[in-house]
Amino acid sequence: MRTVEQTTQEVLDLAARHFQVAQGSLAPDDDFFKKLGINSLQALELLSRLENHFGIELPDYEVQGVSDFRTLAARIQSRL
């Protein structure tokens, strides 16, 4: 079982790869819309990729209003 810190790190790494930014340039408390300059459609793409990676389903409504990596990772963690 991953720890929440491990999950958070994996979320950050995967987001960096997906949006082609430097590994390590993203931090847990970053707002991913602002930091990555992405729109809602691009955020949905990231969610699909995270679901595949962690092997879970994360309903859209469960992450509604979530915009930072730390909270996103916590939502994922609760479903692992």
Partner 1 sequence: MLDLSKYQSIGAALKDAVEVFAGEVCLIEADRDRENHRLTYRQFRDQAMPVARALQDKGFDAAGRAAIIMTNQSKWLIAAYAIFYSGGVLVPLDYKLTADEQWQLLKHSNASVLITEYPIWRQLSGAPGRAEATALQTVIVTEAPPNPDLAGALRWESVNSAVDSGNGAAPEFRARTRKDTATIVYSSGTGGRPKGCMMTHENYLEQCVALTSLYPFAPGMRYLSILPTNHAIDFMVGFFGPFICGAAVVHLRTLRPEYVREAFPKYKITYVSLVPLVLKNLQKGLQTRFDALEPGKRKAFNALVALNKMLTKSRPRLGLSRRLLKQVHEAFGGELRAIIVGGAFTEPQTLQFFYDLGIPVANGYGLTEAGTAITVNDLKPFRADTVGKPLPGMEVRILNPDAQGIGEVSVRSKTVMSGYLNESELSAEAIVDGWLMTGDLGRFDATGHLQLFGRKKNMIVTEEGKNIYPEDVESVFESLPVKEFCVFAANYVWPARTMVGEHLVLVLHLEPGQTLTNELLQEITARNHRLLNYKRIRGLVVVDEDFPRTASMKIKRNALAERLSKLDRSHAVVEV
At 41, list the tokens: 């459609």
Between 3 and 57, name the residue whose CB sits nearer to partner 1: 57
CB of 2 to partner 1, least distance (A): 21
Between 9 and 33, name the residue whose CB sits nearer to partner 1: 33
CB of 22 to partner 1, least distance (A): 17
Between 6 and 45, name the residue whose CB sits nearer to partner 1: 45
DSSP secondary structure, 25-80, as one string:
---TT-BHHHHHT--HHHHHHHHHHHHHHHT----GGGGTT--BHHHHHHHHHTT-
Question: What distance in Å separates the CA atoms of residue 62 and residue 72, rounded to the nearest whole number?
Answer: 10
CB of 1 to partner 1, least distance (A): 20
